[in-house]
Amino acid sequence: MHGRPRKPLKPEEGAASFAKAANLRTLQAQLLHNHHHKIYIKDALDLSSKLLEINPEAYTAWNYRKLAVEHNLRSETDPDSIKAILSEELRLVESALRRNFKSYGAWHHRKWVLSKGNSSLDHEFRLLDQFQKADSRNFHAWNYRRFVAALKNVSEEEELKFTTDMINTNFSNYSAWHNRSVLLSHLLKQRVQGYFPREKVLTEEYDLVHQALFTDPDDQSGWFYHLWLLDQTVKPDAPLLVSSWPVHGSDLIISLGRNLDGRALSPFTSFHSDTGEFPLILYFNQAVEGVDSSTVTVESVFDKNADLMWRPLLTNNSGNAQVWVTYLKLPDVKDHSLKAYPVGVSIGHTQGIISSGGSHYSHPSQFEFTVSLQPIDSEHAERGPGTEMVVWKDGNFHTNKTILQDVSPTIDYFDQLRIEKDIEPTTSMWHAKTVANEIVLFRELLSEINCKIGKLTLARLLIGHDSIMSYNKTPYSYKRVYSQEVLELLSDLMKLDPSHSRYYKDEHSLVLMCQVTSNKELLLRHCWYYKESTSWSIHNSICLRLNNLSLSRIGSVENLLWVQMLDLSHNELRSIEGLEGMQLLSCLNLSNNKLSSFTALEPLRLLKSLKVLDISYNELGAHSIDTTRYLCSSPLSHTVGSDWDVDKCETDDVKVTNYWDVVLIFRGLHLTQLDIVGNAISDDKFKLLLAKVLPSLKWLDGEDVC
């Protein structure tokens, strides 16, 4: 258990263990026979009781008992007999729990029996007292206590007082702290008398948890509760719109062909469309549902609001997402004039947008932008993005002061990003002041002790303070003053706690991306012009280069919705979760990372504009067991793939069923260029499959696709 080797059994102990195992096998065989033949007589029930008293983890035996009880209850009308049947089940569960009071099956069976009624809830509380005295941290007992309290209509205030008593008895009671967070969440949300205003209650909770932390800093129970409190302090109650594309006040130019005057258009305010439509993206601070034509009104000459279909950008197709997108169709352009068409967007002026936590969107927002259509140059209409091969060499990327001067004004559009946020100043002041006080307190504590979770808490406090201070600001008007200190804390934690280094690395990456993308000067340093000396340059000429930053996760996507060309090469990415929000991406470099499966590339399925993809020199096909395989539905599950035309992809040498994940990811993409060299899976047979799955492909690993 927990890395400790088992001691060898003595001969007499081995014989007893063998006899016990043989007895269990006999009982299990008899139980399965009775279960299969639906035998519910007393002898059969007694046999199942013997099995469960020896092994409470026999889930099939508990299920058999449920069926037997249901069967016997149907034939009984006498109240005393019904009560006797249910009492026997409670007796059996109690006996099983005394053998193993952490048995999931036993606790679930007891809940099921209680839901039938005819049982004494007072007896259940007395039993719980016994179990919680034996082990006050048994989370099974705490879960069951919440269930019984709800059945008996015990007030949450009364249960919270019990939790307080248990914590005061022993600060090292993680389950009691957790139960407290569950109860307080309900009380605060419902604004129960005595638990409002929220700030007063949370202040008292900080005082309580400080007693635990400073009494025993090495115990983690209070630290986890403090992290929950911090989340309640920093996270806004209601969902908010934090980003959009196009942005408020922008003058968007939609290019239908080659740029007529030869200038390189900025990706901040331009977009090439070869489908006759362009995306409208809404990015919220938390996952929401209910984004549709009734809650979001779009006024334009392009589409009627009622005809727009809003889609959540999530790979699991659930109804909740932080990012929502719809596509506006473009009218035909007959002349060469750049006429500006106004578009107005209103969000949340009618109720219906709700967060996954149940909060309503309560800050109605609106933004406006104009769209100019650049007509097609018939002579060069075929020369748009993806018609020339992209070479990701450093020599093809250029920067100078003139370029930065050209790009800088376009970034200023994002200073108009956050719109109509009616926040009470006193509330914001309390949030900032509380977190600032906590920072001072924990700096003092860490000056006296070297505590890993203390350093993590300080890092989160610093992140939280920066988030609060930037909350009422536009993205580039507040510099995240604590970012560098947070990065240093997380680097220290990677060394101090190597067993959790991947977690710290992910957090480090998120903070670094936030630092780069939230600071105008830093962001401009990563903006480069892509231009080959032999070509007229692809339309999307400005590339955001976030390469060689040791990133293991992608974050701050809300600041990157404008990006059309992105270089994430030479990092440590194992996942590209979040990229699905970047609907304008046409060129993406993921080479030299640690991507180990095609299912890690699933966000690519949602990128309709993607033309150029480099996933060379990763670890695709190098692992015999794909640990992320089942994050992506298999055709074998009959949930996807039923409409696949296998014959179009399959060859004599390559079976599609062996590469279902590859087909699922790439099917539907319109890639013109793909680089996959340097992966274990990359061989001639596999390339034949790719050529069939991607009929639009022109270049594969730098060579023409015949």
The string of DSSP letters for 111-171 reads HHHHTTS-S-HHHHHHHHHHHHHH-TT-HHHHHHHHHHHHHTT--HHHHHHHHHHHHHH-S
pLDDT of residue 684: 81
Here the tokens at position 594 are: 């640690």
Whole-angstrom Cα distance, residue 614 to residue 643?
Answer: 28
pLDDT of residue 382: 47
Higher pLDDT, 259 or 298: 298
Q: Which residues contact 185 (CB under 8 A, 6 or more apart)?
A: none
Q: Which of 133-137, 269-273, 578-582 has the lowest mean pLDDT?
A: 269-273
The helix/strand/coil state of 544 is strand
Burial (Cβ within 10 Å: 0-12, 13-18, ≥19) of residue 247: buried
Place of tokens 């070509």: 535
Question: Is the dihedral angle over the CA atoms 673, 675, 681, 685 positive or is it negative?
Answer: positive
**Domain span(s) for CATH 3.80.10.10 in the chain:** 546-704
What is the CATH topology of the domain spanning 546-704?
3.80.10
Does the pLDDT at position 1 exceed 60? no
Q: Which residues contact 9 (CB under 8 A, 6 or more apart)?
A: 17
pLDDT of residue 615: 97
**Domain span(s) for CATH 1.25.40 in the chain:** 16-119
CA dihedral 293, 298, 303, 308 (to 10 degrees): -30
pLDDT bucket at 689, cuts 50 / 70 / 90:
confident
Does the pLDDT at position 694 exceed 60? yes
- The pLDDT tens digits of the residues spanning 181-232 come to 999 999 998 889 888 888 999 999 999 999 999 888 888 899 999 999 999 9
Alpha carbon separation from 197 to 189, 212, 230, 236 (Å, rounded): 11, 24, 17, 15
Higher pLDDT, 260 or 23: 23
Cβ(90)–Cβ(110) under 8 Å?
yes
Q: Which of 148-162, 593-607, 675-689 has the lowest mean pLDDT?
A: 675-689
Burial (Cβ within 10 Å: 0-12, 13-18, ≥19) of residue 504: buried
In CATH terms, is domain 16-119 a member of 1.10.10?
A: no
What mean pLDDT comes out for the span 564-571?
A: 96
Q: In the 3-class helix/strand/coil scheme, how is 414-451 assigned residue by residue? A: HHHCCCCCCCCHHHHHHHHHHHHHHHHHHHHHHCCCCC
Average pLDDT, the chain: 84
DSSP state of 360: B
Residue type, 599: T
Burial 583-616 (b: 16+ CB within 10 A, else e): bbbbbbbbbbbebbbbbbbbbbbbbbbbbbbbbb
Here the tokens at position 143 are: 């879960």
What mean pLDDT comes out for the span 376-388?
A: 53
pLDDT of residue 627: 46
Please choose, from the candidates 116, 179, 172, the residue with its C-alpha nearest in 3D space to the C-alpha of residue 149.
Answer: 179
Q: How many CB atoms lie within 10 A of CB 572?
A: 16
User: Is residue 79 reached through a cis peptide bond, with omega within 30 degrees of 0 on the bond before it?
Assistant: no
Alpha carbon separation from 209 to 203, 215, 221, 642, 679 (Å, rounded): 10, 10, 10, 54, 51
pLDDT of residue 403: 61
Here the tokens at position 676 are: 């996959």
Whole-angstrom Cα distance, residue 329 to residue 380?
Answer: 23
What mean pLDDT comes out for the span 23-35?
A: 91
pLDDT bucket at 451, cuts 50 / 70 / 90:
confident
pLDDT of residue 538: 46
pLDDT of residue 406: 57
Higher pLDDT, 268 or 553: 553
**Helix or strand (DSSP H, E) at 14:** helix 11-36
Burial (Cβ within 10 Å: 0-12, 13-18, ≥19) of residue 217: middle
pLDDT bucket at 349, cuts 50 / 70 / 90:
confident
Please choose, from the candidates 252, 241, 338, 302, the residue with its C-alpha nearest in 3D space to the C-alpha of residue 584.
Answer: 252
- The pLDDT tens digits of the residues spanning 418-437 come to 444 444 444 568 899 999 99
Residue type, 166: M
Here the tokens at position 16 are: 């007893």
Q: Which of 135-139, 546-550, 616-620 has the lowest mean pLDDT?
A: 135-139
pLDDT of residue 75: 87
Give me the helices (H) in 170-220, please: 174-190, 198-215
Whole-angstrom Cα distance, residue 184 to residue 163?
Answer: 11
Alpha carbon separation from 247 to 270, 559, 583 (Å, rounded): 12, 11, 14
Here the tokens at position 152 are: 């008996």
Whole-angstrom Cα distance, residue 498 to residue 502?
Answer: 8
Does the pLDDT at position 629 exceed 70? no
What mean pLDDT comes out for the span 153-179?
A: 93
Whole-angstrom Cα distance, residue 677 to residue 616?
Answer: 5
The helix/strand/coil state of 5 is coil
Half-sphere exposure of 386 (CA within 13 A, CB side): 25
φ and ψ of 528, to 5 deg: -130, 150
How far, rounded to the nearest angstrom, does the alpha carbon of residue 63 sit from its chain's CA centroid?
34
φ and ψ of 262, to 5 deg: 80, -5
Give me the helices (H) in 497-619, please: 501-517, 520-525
